[in-house]
Structure 1
Amino acid sequence: MTAVDVSTAPSVLIAETDPWSRDLLKQVVLSVRCDARLDVCGEGQEAIALLGDTRYDLVIADWDLSGVSGLDLLRHVRQRRRSPVLPFILLSNRNDSASVREALPLAPTAYLTKPLDMPGLTQRLQGLLLSAGQEVACDVPALTPGMTLKRFLEHRRASSDGAPLLADVQLAVKRSLNPGGLDLKLLEQEVRTDPQITAVLIAAANSAAQHRASPVQTLAQALQRLGPAQSMNLVLGLTLKRSARLSDPCLADYAEHYWNASLHTAEYGRTLARMLSLDQERCYCAGLLHRLGDLALLRCLQEWLQAGGALDTQAIDESLAEFGAAYGSALRTRWRLPLELRELIAAIYHLGGGVYSREALLMNLAGQVASLQPEEGVDAVAKSKTARLLKVGVPELERLVKKA
């Protein structure tokens, strides 16, 4: 295995409009060359500017870039007549012969249609970025001198990758495959309890690239909008990210606790929604995602450990208390989860003044029940304003707890 030599690390430009596809391409490139120097952009004019400043070893561009199309970007690259020829992978939703004939005279290194065949793309990248038999190993970047845990977490809040994976993704995909391809209903059953997968697929399904007006608010809706191939690509792409799973036993125990809290709230939300004839799956999803920030923070704490930082349970508890809610809010905003879903998640924690939907009241009640200690009864919850507004009494709440 070859140690990293910065002077020989390849420079790669990724130009892709959709942020989730852009991130997926980035992870696939890094899975082949962890030392690659990456520039990413979302529109063609910016890509041309970057090409004027940097000598790249590979360009990956989507045909449907705004401003300057990926095809025009390829034309711009070929007109510069660089020697040797700059490798250029053109991605496209167009698989008709006319589009292929239009691109071929510009000699793209590869013309790949979407949804992408990820194994095929990986193989292409290996041929372009690695010498025969070459493997590259990358060390985890060390903490900068003087870096404190608080500063580290403040810095990562705006760019965290989200929660660790809690489902066995490879097994889930394997179980969901049949001779006809990926069965979306089976995949939903396999991954529906994983907050990270649920949040990412909902966010990706609501991205501008999907060109739909109605927001997606459940995992089932997201899978249907994305389709089998793109859903599988995004799910598998999550496994390529650093710290995708928690390896530290202590942090894994904390994650188990917050995951169980999420699952209990989700199940209570769904059961109450069934009782009150409301949207069961949307309420389940809100409950599942309400601890996303705490889980994302735990993942960043593992990155802190891997970079050489010290950690104990007191530091973990203090970090969760100070940053957990902020991480969740930042993620839900940055990933542009639908406002209606975010309101249901917020309602689990707090109901202020004003008028609330029955679903928001329901999720607040689900959060109260999920917070009960084993020795506590439901009487206090039944007396709450939320329960009284929903007309849910002790008998209903006792049945709810028994079903959990």
Structure 2
Amino acid sequence: MKALVLEDDELVGELVESIVAGLSGVQQVTLARSLTEAKRYLAEDTYGLYLVDWELPDGSGLELVKLIRRSDSVVPVVVVSGRSDRESVIKAAHYGISGYITKPLDIELLHQRLTDLIPSQGVESASVHEFMAKSSNSVVQLPTEVDPGEIIELIGRADTLSASELAERWREQIGLTARILDVANSSSFRRTGQPVESLRVAIGSIGVSMALNQALALALDVTAKLTRPELKTVADQYQEISLRVAREANQIALRIGKASTMYRSAGVLSRLGEMAVLKVLNQFDAAGGTLAEAEIEQCVARWSEEYGNRLKVHWKFPLGLRELIGAVHFLSPDNHREGPIIMRAAALIAENRQGENECQRLLRQLGLNATELAKEAPSDAV
């Protein structure tokens, strides 16, 4: 199912996108920031769910609702508005809407309302590879083990939390790190033109409250919990690999006197392609698709690079961060830039390949050797 979200407030739109992308059966979310843009999307495609902001700079969202209802009287249409008075709710209801949600958003309420509106859907694709191909252009939220109860408790004391505290708490959460960097870069580029490359700076950019709301949206994403044991086992393996890379990159950066947060983020995100593939495989399996155990390994090998590259672009990762992530997997011998060298060396050490010629050469370029790195290194702030 495709969903269309019309919301001119950038951070609110990103938040709604996170919630909708986590609904069972939703494979693609299109985010429009103006009535004009939404009308164009509506003319070009058909959607199975609409979330429409009422008040927009170039008109009323109810105008879009009217257009939708001309051709489809049953598709779920939810109006999101800062108007909470009875007269406004009655006016919107006359347009045949399916639901009305007021701002500021209650994340749990919105998630539950949308869940109730969307019927369960089976798998339309005949094979897992067809499903992977169709899903490759969709918004994919990575598997996450964020606990909703923990996030709700943090929201209750948001006024006392700092960006540094949240970054320290979440620094090994791959899916959450990826999403917050995505949101921060989306808003940061429009305001300052400067990329955001670390979790702490990203949280500071969008604010603690919005970061917590994004975390709650991911925590409520039931499709992000890998339910098939084989998929969970493989995901745990890739998460452990990425965290080892992050720790090694952190240690190398500190040894040569570099701020390590960006390198740690690149390490945490270094297996996002594999994690995205496992998330989509979990959706396929949960929807009743036939998935043999051998196909898991085949799909990871076949689709991880494509998914990873698409996500790094879709999530608006800065070019510097994308280059660091790419260096984990391959680095040309004629690339002498310090950042990629740090990441490639960290990846080799994480795989216990520090004795190989490539790793020794990279460490020499950094003025280090494997023996030095075996010594205890101080920790740094996120």
Same fold (TM over 0.5): yes
CA distance in 2, matches of 1:389, 1:298: 36
Determine which of 152, 164, 187 is the counterpart of 2:143: 164
| Local SS of the residue matching 2:207 | helix
Alignment partner, residue 195 of structure 1: 174
Determine which of 217, 220, 223 is the counterpart of 1:237: 217
CA distance in 2, matches of 1:237, 1:48: 27
Alignment partner, residue 24 of structure 1: 15
CA distance in 2, matches of 1:302, 1:111: 30
TM-superposed CA distance for 1:347, in Å, is 1.1
TM-superposed CA distance for 1:188, in Å, is 2.1
Alignment partner, residue 204 of structure 1: 183
State yes or no: 1:306 paired with 2:286: yes
CA distance in 1, matches of 2:301, 2:358: 28
**Residue-pair matches, total:** 361
Alignment partner, residue 44 of structure 1: 35
- Output the aligned Cα RMSD: 4.3
CA distance in 2, matches of 1:137, 1:87: 12
Alignment partner, residue 121 of structure 2: 140
* Native 8 Å contact 1:161 1:296 kept in 2: yes
CA distance in 1, matches of 2:41, 2:309: 33
Greater Rg by CA: 1
TM-score for the superposition, normalised by structure 2: 0.77
Alignment partner, residue 221 of structure 1: 201
Identical-residue share of aligned pairs (%): 23
CA distance in 2, matches of 1:286, 1:20: 24
Alignment partner, residue 352 of structure 2: 372
Going from structure 1 to structure 2, the CA distance change for 1:184 and 1:64 (only over 3 Å counts) comes to farther
Higher relative contact order (CA 8 A, sep 6+): 2
TM-superposed CA distance for 1:287, in Å, is 0.4
Residue 373 of structure 2 aligns to which amino acid in structure 1? L
CA distance in 1, matches of 2:318, 2:41: 33
* Native 8 Å contact 1:143 1:308 kept in 2: no
TM-superposed CA distance for 1:21, in Å, is 3.8
TM-superposed CA distance for 1:122, in Å, is 6.5
* Native 8 Å contact 2:10 2:187 kept in 1: no
TM-superposed CA distance for 1:383, in Å, is 6.0
Alignment partner, residue 131 of structure 2: 152
Going from structure 1 to structure 2, the CA distance change for 1:173 and 1:265 (only over 3 Å counts) comes to farther
TM-superposed CA distance for 1:324, in Å, is 1.3
Alignment partner, residue 387 of structure 1: 363
| Local SS of the residue matching 1:325 | helix
CA distance in 2, matches of 1:392, 1:357: 15
| Local SS of the residue matching 2:346 | helix
* Structure 2: segments with no counterpart, 5+ residues: 70-76, 94-99
Alignment partner, residue 252 of structure 1: 232
TM-superposed CA distance for 1:288, in Å, is 0.4
CA distance in 1, matches of 2:63, 2:124: 40
* Structure 1: segments with no counterpart, 5+ residues: 1-10, 93-99
Going from structure 1 to structure 2, the CA distance change for 1:228 and 1:63 (only over 3 Å counts) comes to farther
Determine which of 282, 294, 297 is the counterpart of 1:317: 297
TM-superposed CA distance for 1:15, in Å, is 1.3
